[in-house]
Amino acid sequence: MSPRTGRLLILILSLAVTRPAPAQTPDRSKPPAPGPPAKLDLPAIQKFALSNGIPVLFIERHKVPLVQVAVVVRAGAAVDPRGKAGLANLTAEMLDRGAGGRSALELSDAVDHLGADLSAGAGWDQTVVGLNVPSQRLAEALPILSDVVRRPAFPAEELERVRKELLTELLQWRDEPRALVRVAFARALYGEHPYGRVTEGSERSVRGMTRGELQNFHASYFEPGNVTLIAAGDVTVQALQGRLQEAFGSWSGNAVRPAPVPASPEPRARSVWLVDLPEAAQSEIRIGRVGPSRKTPDYFPLVVANTLLGGSFTSRLNQNLREKHGYTYGAGSVFDFRLSSGPFFAAAAVQTDKTAPALSEFFKELEGIRRPVPEDELARARNYVALRYPAGFETVGELAGKLEDKALFELPDDFFTTYMDRVAKVTAADLARVTAEWIDPRSVVVVVVGDRKKIEAGIRALNLGPVKVLTADDILGRSGPASKARSPK
């Protein structure tokens, strides 16, 4: 045997020995079983207070060289005075438009120079001013954050600029079914209750707000006794405490704690608001009722119940209206938890000629979720909630956002680490109890925005309840030219 032949024989034998066994055919008759939820590796929540009593919540994490700091003020749109809807929102919009002796442009340049990002916004129950900054620049950035929160100038020329931007946005709402249905639903469900408006306010209220009213709102609520500081990221607790003390420790004053928002009664019967938007390309539907506050002991069963109904792509509403019937690109539902009784609603944008059939399917699913849920479907919903939960703690911004919730809603220290276990313990009996109480299709408001002449007859034929027909002017008020907006001195 020649050397070449010998080498070839060895190669053939080695291939025969190492040849893999035939691969097993995967079982495609059923979906693979989900694995166990990922472990939530959450560092301890550290707490301390500044010398003036401001509480601080902090999570230390050194994976990336970033720090997120937020100032949470316990005042939002729910405390807007009657006739001044949007005051908290406009105040928040103006915070970084000049502060601490810097103009809006100078503030923007200073933040950009540090590679940072500064934002401010008002929700229903809080105003949050947030700073995301490279950890090496934290000491330089915190004084800017302090100026924006404590010493905003509310310059008149910037107020007019922001006012015109808001008025332009509100004017555009007249042609946007999704904006109209949002405003109409709040009013239909809550009426004169503080939640019966939207956080942005209205053209009339925004047009009439004065610089003095913004200053008074700020002076009333932006005080140490009404604030919590939040931080997460690449800094030690010792360094953070010293830098926050330098930036905020000299802050003094007595805040007016907002009065609790009263609970709202449920609708006594079903009613329908039809908002006419001629030539609308599709119909916007929103069906709902008053839900519980965020502090409800039924929070976890409600999260799972909503996941089943409309809180995921595979939810009953989406599978019905999108996958089965093709009426919409997506349908869903939500419990909008707030400090007081926030709304529950189901919603979708549907084809105009399918408006009435879509409404019928909505009510089938709202009735169906109140019946016993099969154990396999319940298990899938629990897995969906639990498996995706750890992904909400990946960035410093997400960590800070969770701490904001903890501060605002006074969540227990172990809330995040026990979340998945508590989801896993939700039973079919729990779902039956909470859906019976909070999802009752016999007492809901139904709001539809669309082309009246094409959808009214079909809606009335369903006999859902008395139908009230309105226009965009009825919902938003009569429009005036944004260019006439002026701020009284």
User: For residues 100 and 118, is the Cβ–Cβ distance under 8 A?
Assistant: no
Beta-carbon contacts of 53 under 8 Å, excluding residues fewer than 6 positions away, are: 224, 225
The per-residue pLDDT string of the chain (489 residues; one tens digit each, 9 = 90 and over) reads 554 545 544 444 454 444 555 556 777 777 777 666 667 888 999 999 999 999 999 999 999 999 999 999 999 999 999 999 999 999 999 999 999 999 999 999 999 999 999 999 999 999 999 999 999 999 999 999 999 999 999 999 999 999 999 999 999 999 999 999 999 999 999 999 999 999 999 999 999 999 999 999 999 999 999 999 999 999 999 999 999 999 999 999 886 788 889 999 888 899 999 999 999 999 999 999 999 999 999 999 999 999 999 999 999 999 999 999 999 999 999 999 999 999 999 999 999 999 999 999 999 999 999 999 999 999 999 999 999 999 999 999 999 999 999 999 999 999 999 999 999 999 999 999 999 999 999 999 999 999 999 999 999 999 999 999 999 999 999 876 543 443 333
The pLDDT value recorded for residue 489 is 34
User: For residues 406 and 57, is the Cβ–Cβ distance under 8 A?
Assistant: yes
Looking at residue 320, the DSSP 8-state letter turns out to be I
Helix 428-438 and helix 375-388: axis angle, to 10°? 80
Angstrom distances, CA of residue 7 to CA of 2, 12, 17: 9, 9, 15
Helix 156-172 and helix 87-94: axis angle, to 10°? 130
pLDDT digits (tens, 9 = 90+) for 175-230: 999 999 999 999 999 999 999 999 999 999 999 999 999 999 999 999 999 999 99
DSSP letters for 18-80: HPPPPPPPP--SSPPPP-PPPP---PPPEEEE-TT--EEEEEE--SSSEEEEEEEES--GGGP
Cα–Cα distance, 459 to 448 (Å, whole number)? 9
The pLDDT value recorded for residue 256 is 74
pLDDT digits (tens, 9 = 90+) for 29-77: 777 776 666 678 889 999 999 999 999 999 999 999 999 999 999 999 9
Cα–Cα distance, 253 to 224 (Å, whole number)? 7
Looking at residue 270, the DSSP 8-state letter turns out to be -
Cα–Cα distance, 154 to 90 (Å, whole number)? 10
Sign of CA dihedral 195, 198, 203, 208: positive
Angstrom distances, CA of residue 108 to CA of 102, 117, 118, 242: 9, 9, 9, 25
Cα–Cα distance, 422 to 433 (Å, whole number)? 17
User: Vertex 141, ends 135 and 147: CA angle to 5°?
Assistant: 155
Tokens 């399918």: give the residue. 354
Could you give the domains of the chain? 46-248 (3.30.830.10), 271-477 (3.30.830.10)
Q: Which two tokens stand for residue 375?
A: 């154990």
Cα–Cα distance, 239 to 219 (Å, whole number)? 30
User: For residues 124 and 76, is the Cβ–Cβ distance under 8 A?
Assistant: yes
Chain centroid offset of residue 45 CA: 23
Q: Which two tokens stand for residue 117?
A: 């990002």
Sign of CA dihedral 37, 43, 44, 48: negative
Cα–Cα distance, 138 to 130 (Å, whole number)? 13
In a 10 Å sphere around its CB, with 0-12 CB exposed, 13-18 middle and 19+ buried, how is residue 272 labelled? buried
Q: Which two tokens stand for residue 215?
A: 């200053």
Q: Which two tokens stand for residue 160?
A: 């007019």
User: For residues 223 and 257, is the Cβ–Cβ distance under 8 A?
Assistant: no
User: Rg of the Cα trace of the chain?
Assistant: 27
Q: Which residues pair with 129 in a beta bridge?
A: 71, 120
pTM of the model: 0.88
In a 10 Å sphere around its CB, with 0-12 CB exposed, 13-18 middle and 19+ buried, how is residue 280 labelled? buried
Cα–Cα distance, 322 to 310 (Å, whole number)? 12
Helix (H, G, I), strand (E, B) or coil at 95: coil
Instruction: Note the helical H segments in 222-347.
Output: 237-248, 299-309, 316-318
Cα–Cα distance, 409 to 342 (Å, whole number)? 13
Compute the residue count for the chain.
Answer: 489
Cα–Cα distance, 105 to 98 (Å, whole number)? 8
The pLDDT value recorded for residue 30 is 73
Cα–Cα distance, 8 to 189 (Å, whole number)? 83
